[in-house]
Amino acid sequence: MAALRQLRPTRRGLGAAAVVGLALALGSAFGMRSLGAVVVPGASALLIGAVQTLRADAPKVDRASIDAGFPGDRRTVRVTVESSAPCTVVEPVGDGLAVPEGTTNPVTEAIGHGGQFEYTVELDRRGEHRVGPARCRISDSFGLFSAVTGEEEAETVLVYPTVYDVEARALSRLTSGGGGTDRSMFERLREYTTEDTMGDIHWRASAKRPDEEFLVAEYGGRTTRDRVMIVGESDSDDADAMASAVTSLLTRLDAMGRTATVVVADGECTSRPGGSVTALRLLARTGGGTVAAGERDRADVYVRGQGDDVTATVAGRRLEIGPERDSNRQERTESIAPTETGTIA
């Protein structure tokens, strides 16, 4: 037998009860037997409707799993309902998710004796967010009474941090120069840039052109760094900017075919090219905080977030992370999902 539930008359039920009550009152006052043709069917319908609503099994709601994604992505939520009585499903969409204009929140769908419906949600903010739990409002076949059954389980939707543009040249130098350079294999001279160190300058060649820019010697035989370690820290309540910066670096390194180890207060994860999902899940959930001093000292890239601001440094130099300027975003994240863009101050 179904669990005890609160029974409520619908507008139709209230109208039917009023008609039956009026017929009883008139019959008592004037003795009109013909009113029995109204009272008996009406009272029987009310009784049957109440019993049917109270005894109906609670509907079963199944919701397909919802894929994780980045802010701005949209997901279709598919809900399947099995019900022995006419049913209306009411499903709330939690904070961090949004429904398109024209869709109500909570989503309400009359499903009859069972079936399937779907609606769209937009991923809005980093973190774990809920769809549901669904409440089912069942009624009898006459529509005279309704009752709300127990809530079903909610579905969790994971939203990754926002991805921003990364200054690729500094990362390229980091990943290509980590293993050292064979200086016996000279390649060419080029003009000095702000990305070069004083140790890169070819002083003898530069002395021959005192009025010109310094020259930098490039050598062959440069080995590649097998793994880049990214360490992220932030105030406990200000993790969003830090997580976005680390995610931006991670997706850029993934596109470059480099392995990255991500270290944040909530854990550590190594991400190989094409396998960033586990690290992205960690960054979606991290609440910020600090890491051990030893981990911070070993970082190839150190990210510090405070409030809405973030600084990222590579070998003591600030790394620029800003809005996308070209179409590289799709190329860098095609193995997981497209993202929205923004600015980290």
The domains of the chain are located at 8-55, 60-159, 165-171+226-333, 181-219
Q: Say how many Å lie between the first and final Cα of the chain, rounded.
A: 61
Distance from C-alpha of 144 to C-alpha of 127, rounded to nearest angstrom: 43
* Whether the predicted pLDDT of 340 surpasses 50: no
Band of the pLDDT at 339, cuts 50, 70, 90?
A: very low
* Whether the predicted pLDDT of 336 surpasses 60: no
pLDDT tens digits, one per residue of 88-135: 888 889 888 988 877 888 888 888 888 888 999 999 999 999 998 888
C-alpha count within 13 angstroms, C-beta hemisphere, residue 250: 36
Cis peptide before 41 (omega within 30 of 0): no
Band of the pLDDT at 59, cuts 50, 70, 90?
A: confident
Going by their DSSP bridges, the two strands 301-306 and 227-234 should be labelled as parallel
Lowest mean pLDDT among 206-220, 309-323, 327-341: 327-341
pLDDT tens digits, one per residue of 242-277: 899 899 999 988 888 888 899 998 888 888 888 889
Band of the pLDDT at 240, cuts 50, 70, 90?
A: confident
Mean model confidence pLDDT for the chain: 77
Nearest to 305 by CA among 244, 256, 247: 244
Residue 69 confidence (pLDDT): 92
Residue 56 confidence (pLDDT): 78
Distance from C-alpha of 84 to C-alpha of 104, rounded to nearest angstrom: 26
Distances (CA, A) of 29 to 33, 39, 42: 11, 14, 19
Residue 226 confidence (pLDDT): 65
Cis peptide before 133 (omega within 30 of 0): yes
Question: What are 132's two structure tokens?
Answer: 């549901």
Distance from C-alpha of 120 to C-alpha of 72, rounded to nearest angstrom: 12
Q: Are 223 and 179 in contact (CB under 8 A)?
A: yes
pLDDT tens digits, one per residue of 156-178: 899 999 888 887 676 776 666 54
Nearest to 290 by CA among 266, 313, 265, 272: 265
Question: What are 298's two structure tokens?
Answer: 């070993």
The top-level CATH class assigned to 60-159 is mainly beta
175: left (phi over 0), alpha (psi -120 to 50) or beta: alpha
Distance of CA 1 to the CA centre of its chain: 40
Residue ranges of E strands in the chain: 8-9, 60-63, 74-91, 97-98, 107-123, 127-131, 135-139, 145-148, 155-159, 165-166, 186-191, 215-219, 227-234, 259-264, 267-271, 301-306, 309-314, 317-318, 321-322
CA dihedral 140, 145, 149, 154 (to 10 degrees): 90
Distance from C-alpha of 228 to C-alpha of 286, rounded to nearest angstrom: 20
Q: Are 247 and 256 in contact (CB under 8 A)?
A: no
Give the whole-number percent of the chain exceeding pLDDT 70. Answer: 76
Residue 319 confidence (pLDDT): 77
